[in-house]
Structure 1
Amino acid sequence: MTAAQWALWGCGLFFLTGLLTGVWKYAQIASSDKSRAHYYVDVAHRASLMYAFACLVLERFASLSVWSNAVNTAAVLTSMLFFALAVGSYILHGWLRDTRNQLQPPHQLGKAHFPGGAMLLFMVSLIVAEVGGFLVLFAGFVAGYSEAP
């Protein structure tokens, strides 16, 4: 499968996740005294839709990149993995209703707490993966664009 095809699969899956979390969000709003969904249900819904369109950006740049399919696929899948991990964490916090700010110490998951260093490591990894993945694709586009007649 090409990098562009992986990105389109990601787009479809994130868009579907956005639609389904939208149903969940509505159900929580409809059953809430304050007509609100849990903070992370709302975040999961919005982030899923945002990442669906981000995958279209990845697809376009992967299609225009001069790098090999292996390099472009690694860049696309790395970015999409961290998109999925982010949305997964939002869904988990929305399901558990355990926090309104996963970055605020003490970092919790349900009733468990985990070290701040783990959150820092994850966030640095996410930044490197998402920014780095796109930079690879963008550099491949720039390299091809500058070679065009």
Structure 2
Amino acid sequence: MTLHTDTAWILFFAGVIFTVALLLGVWKWQKMSTSPTGQAHPYVDIAHRSALLYSFAAGLVSAFVQFSEWPAGVNLAAGGTMVALFLITIANYTRLGLQGTTENQMHNPPSSMRGVLALLIVGEIGGFLVLLTGFAAAQL
């Protein structure tokens, strides 16, 4: 079976995110091995774990893209939005781990945080609902 082009792109980025997760795991291990407590900074740990989880989430998203009724452009936009937001979130956690200045980004957040969180909610949940309804229309 040949994957649709939109599916192939989402699956490719799932692999990219998984590769990032593996590299973040090396960084986490390095931080753990040089820390007096044996622990990495919380956001180094969060970046690593979230990248692992997002890589598998992107793989799941690719299945919904493949079997959706909607046109390829709609599926790619919905899945691509989700993947882009996954990558942005991982990058932010990585930035916080590199800075090492906070253990909780929600403690005294910048005023823009509400807008960013709203974008994540709409983009991730909305993108998935588009794919889920396309799947249901085609498969149920």
Q: Which TM-score band applies after superposition, normalised by the shorter structure?
A: over 0.9
Find the counterpart in structure 2 of residue 25 from structure 1.
28
Find the counterpart in structure 2 of residue 71 from structure 1.
74
Per-residue deviation at 1:66? 0.6
| Matching residue within 117, 129, 141 for 2:135 | 141
Q: How does 1:1-149 map to 2 (within 5 A)?
A: 2-105=5-108, 107=109, 115-116=110-111, 118-146=112-140
How many corresponding residue pairs? 137
Question: Cα RMSD over matched residues?
Answer: 1.0
Give the AA of the match of 1:91: T
Structure 1 moving runs of 4+ over 4 Å: none
Gaps of at least 5 residues in structure 2 are none
Per-residue deviation at 1:2? 2.2
Question: Could you tell me how far apart the structure 2 residues matched to 1:99 and 1:42 are?
Answer: 13
Question: Could you tell me how far apart the structure 2 residues matched to 1:20 and 1:102 are?
Answer: 23
Give the AA of the match of 1:50: L
The higher-RCO structure (CA 8 Å, 6+ apart) is 2
Find the counterpart in structure 2 of residue 111 from structure 1.
none
Give the % identical residues: 39
Gaps of at least 5 residues in structure 1 are 108-114
Question: Could you tell me how far apart the structure 1 residues matched to 2:22 and 2:89 are?
Answer: 17
TM-score (norm 1): 0.89
What do residues 10-30 of structure 1 show as CA deviations (whole Å, max 9, x unaligned)?
111110111000000000000
Q: Which has the higher strand share?
A: 1
